[in-house]
Chains A and B, each alone.
Chain A
Amino acid sequence: MSTRTREAEQESEAQGSEQSTAYFVYGVVPGDVTPTEEARGLGDPPLAVTTVTRSEIGALVSEVPLDGPLGEPDDLVAYQRILDGTVIEAPVLPLRFGTVLADRESVERLLDDGHDAFLAALNELDDRTEFIIRGRYVERALLEQILEDVPEAARLRDSLRDAPDDLPEQSTMDARVRLGEIVNQAVEATRTTDTGNLIAALEPLTVTAIERPPTHEQDAVHVAVLVDNARRRKFERGVEAVEKRWRGRVELRLLGPLAPYDFVAVPQAGQ
């Protein structure tokens, strides 16, 4: 059987039977949004992205097979591509990856139940997009600064360097752990300072900012910001200015425009 035939069969099966597929919900959009005809969702084979519309809002959905697991790299990439592609044209409230409802009626019910809250959130996010600013320390510059600033680190480094080469590794363990601990503390302190400075520098250019937890030991900054589309150029120039100031010390990257992943979370304790 050719791949093509098999996919065609799966697709017709998926569309014909409510039991073998369910609705993956990407996000909530204003009711006048329609996906382009060729838009495909996640899963294998990827099926068409459509909208389920109720009153003034709609849900971006595509059917997915019930039996297969979700979360392959392609699925994650497709999910983000659909949401980021949408936010360029219209506001969208991303639903967490993996939100799957049994059938069309369930999607309608979801929209009906949350209609006013969804609509209010969409209005709030209209003409706004998210950007993520990520910075990674340039290791050499970071460590040299720490050795300069923290005498104990330099002292430990010297003692380790001067230790005889034939010394068993275990005997320098305490000194190495202590050195690393000091460095780690200094990195954390530097990160806190840099993150605060970045948020403050961009504050006039952004609607709001959220600090994200570091995902790497040498992360300098990891911040999500919400930006008015009208101020996007100014914002980007603001990021460039920070990048220039930090050049040689921090490698800065700007991701976006993105769907507002960080700005739709239901408030929870500790967030």
Chain B
Amino acid sequence: MTSAVATTGGAAGSGDSSSDLADVIDTILDKGLVIDAHIAVGVVGIRLLTIDARIVIASVDTYLRFAEAVNRLDLGESEGKALPDLAGGKASAIEKAGETIGQLVGGGKERQRTRSRRDREED
């Protein structure tokens, strides 16, 4: 018999996996099998809180934000100085991206470990 790891509550304390509600919403919203309420018997119309699906619709606001971001690039920066600054910017981005993937790959393992430890402890 397979024992499924349907773990217990206490979301906030369960590590990195639950730290980003936005990720949860993006992952599960409007996904999964839909049971046809007209065919299935006993479907209850329970009240669901409205969850905003984050979708990207380009608008004038979008354009203005992009324009502002482009203009920000120049702040306090002449053409001559742009190159060193650019290099600096890229170096810091590398570091940041490295951290991100490191957390991810490591995070996945950590998450599994957390799960199995939780199971053993039977909390």
- Chain A: minimal CB distance from B107 (Å): 9
Bound Cα distance A88, B112 (Å): 9
B64 lies within 8 A of A98 (CB): no
B101 lies within 8 A of A240 (CB): yes
In chain A, positions 118-162 with a C-beta closer than 8 Å to chain B are 132, 138-141, 143-144, 147, 153, 157, 160-161
A96 lies within 8 A of B33 (CB): yes
B7 lies within 8 A of A85 (CB): yes
Q: Is residue A70 contacting chain B, with contact meaning CB distance below 8 A?
A: yes
B105 lies within 8 A of A240 (CB): yes
The interface residues of chain A lying within 8 Å CB-to-CB of B67 are: 160, 176-177, 179-180, 183
A113 lies within 8 A of B40 (CB): yes
Bound Cα distance A140, B96 (Å): 13
Interface residues on B, range: 35 or more
Q: Which of A27, A78, A180 has the most CB of B within 10 A?
A: A180
Bound Cα distance A262, B43 (Å): 23
The interface residues of chain A lying within 8 Å CB-to-CB of B63 are: 176-181, 183-184
| 19 further A-B pairs in the complex, CB-CB below 8 A; given A85-B5, A90-B4, A180-B62 | A81-B11, A82-B7, A89-B3, A89-B4, A89-B5, A94-B33, A96-B32, A101-B43, A101-B44, A106-B40, A109-B40, A143-B66, A183-B70, A187-B66, A243-B101, A251-B96, A251-B100, A252-B104, A253-B100
In the complex, the chain B residue whose C-beta lies closest to that of A175 is B67
A257 lies within 8 A of B108 (CB): yes
Bound Cα distance A184, B62 (Å): 8
A180 lies within 8 A of B66 (CB): yes
B97 lies within 8 A of A243 (CB): yes
B1 lies within 8 A of A32 (CB): yes
Contact check: which of A35, A38, A71 meets B49 at CB < 8 Å? Answer: A71
Q: Is residue A116 contacting chain B, with contact meaning CB distance below 8 A?
A: no
A60 lies within 8 A of B6 (CB): yes
Bound Cα distance A107, B104 (Å): 37
In chain A, positions 68-89 with a C-beta closer than 8 Å to chain B are 68-74, 76-82, 84-86, 88-89
When each residue 234-270 of chain A gets 1 if its CB lies under 8 Å from chain B and 0 otherwise, what string results?
0010011001001111111111111001101110000
In the complex, the chain B residue whose C-beta lies closest to that of A98 is B48
Q: Which of A8-16, A195-203, A212-220 is the interface stretch?
A: A212-220
Write 11 A-B pairs (CB below 8 A) sorted by A numbering.
Answer: A36-B119, A78-B9, A143-B73, A157-B70, A180-B65, A183-B67, A187-B66, A247-B93, A248-B97, A252-B97, A258-B27
